[in-house]
Chain A
Amino acid sequence: MAINWFKYSAPTTFYGLAGKLIPWFAISAAVLCIVGLYIGFVVAPADAQQGEFYRIIFIHVPSSILSMFLYLIMAAYAAMGLIFNTRLSSMMASAIAPTGALFAFISLWTGALWGKPMWGAWWVWDARLTSELILLFLYLGFISLHASIDDPRRADRAAALLAIVGSVNVPIIYFSVQWWNTLHQGSTIKFTGTSMHIAMQQAMFTMLVACWLYAITVTLMRVRSIILERERHTKWITELAEVKA
């Protein structure tokens, strides 16, 4: 039997589905985070050059990857909302933005913590760092622009334009270490292979999946509130069990 995926693009059905999925994503994120930290801090050996300081990568790399991917997903949802005028797409874009901004902030913060002992400076105006800072400002711009317009549908359209235009920054962040002479190191993991110890790779990928699951959990939680807020005048909202309670 074919599944009608379009059914889940309606806030009415997505609200219930999100509610059912949240506990599964949340528990999986917590378990994987514990496993990832155990491998990263107990199993993985110290780095030959960086000693113990390299262990920041288990939160820094997943945060950086998430901050970029979440921006692209947010821009894709915003574009869908703009082109097809679908309500849920715009709600999803609004729900993703704060989580993306927090991941961009954690990426910059943990990067600074790593930079001090390794480079001798908390911050340098390096291409990778500067473009990541611009990404944080783009997230903050999206959130501020959306909040500054009273009509939600007009706010969606204005913020969508910013999200789409700003998405050009993501490939700049990714390729900045190749295009310019940067202090920030290039990718350690490539399609051709990696020199990383297997336990380091396992810890990093486990933490990456944990961060993904966390981001999905929080986004679903936030989008449910947005749906409640925006659809509050509709009959189906007033008939929800949690509203009647």
Chain B
Amino acid sequence: MSLDIWMRENPLSYIWIGSYAVAFLIFAIEIAMVKHKRKITLQQVRLMREADESEQE
């Protein structure tokens, strides 16, 4: 069945899969990337702090 016929027979599935699922997937990826970035940055800052402390000792 071609996409044209399928989308006209199943408009709500077309809208959900094509638009909303894609949009929510993008939001989920963005949140995951932001959380990952924070985790990495915190690790870097902790490492720097530990290095500074061991230097002072």
List residues of A whose CB falls within 8 A of some B CB: 37, 41, 51-53, 55-56, 59-60, 63, 98-99, 102, 105-106, 109-110, 113-114, 116-117, 214, 218, 221-222, 224-225, 228-229, 232-233, 237-238, 242-244
Residues B44 and A232 in contact, CB atoms below 8 Å apart: yes
User: What residue in chain A is nearest B20 (Cβ atoms)?
Assistant: A59
User: What residue in chain B is nearest A120 (Cβ atoms)?
Assistant: B4
The 3 tightest CB contacts between A and B, nearest first, are A52-B11, A113-B18, A110-B19
User: What residue in chain B is nearest A230 (Cβ atoms)?
Assistant: B41
Query: What are 28 pairs between A and B in contact, CB < 8 Å?
Result: A37-B20, A41-B12, A52-B15, A53-B11, A53-B14, A53-B15, A55-B12, A56-B15, A59-B19, A59-B23, A60-B19, A102-B26, A102-B30, A109-B19, A109-B23, A110-B19, A116-B4, A117-B8, A117-B14, A221-B31, A221-B35, A225-B34, A228-B42, A232-B41, A232-B44, A232-B48, A238-B49, A244-B49
Chief secondary structure at chain A's binding surface = helix
- For B, the interface residue count at a CB cutoff of 8 angstroms equals 28
**Which residues of the partner chain A approach B4 to less than 8 Å between Cβ atoms?**
116
A135 to chain B, nearest CB (A): 17
List residues of B whose CB falls within 8 A of some A CB: 4, 7-8, 11-12, 14-15, 18-20, 22-23, 26-27, 30-31, 34-35, 37-38, 41-42, 44-46, 48-49, 52
**Given A232-B48, A238-B49, A243-B46, also A218-B34 (CB < 8 A):** yes
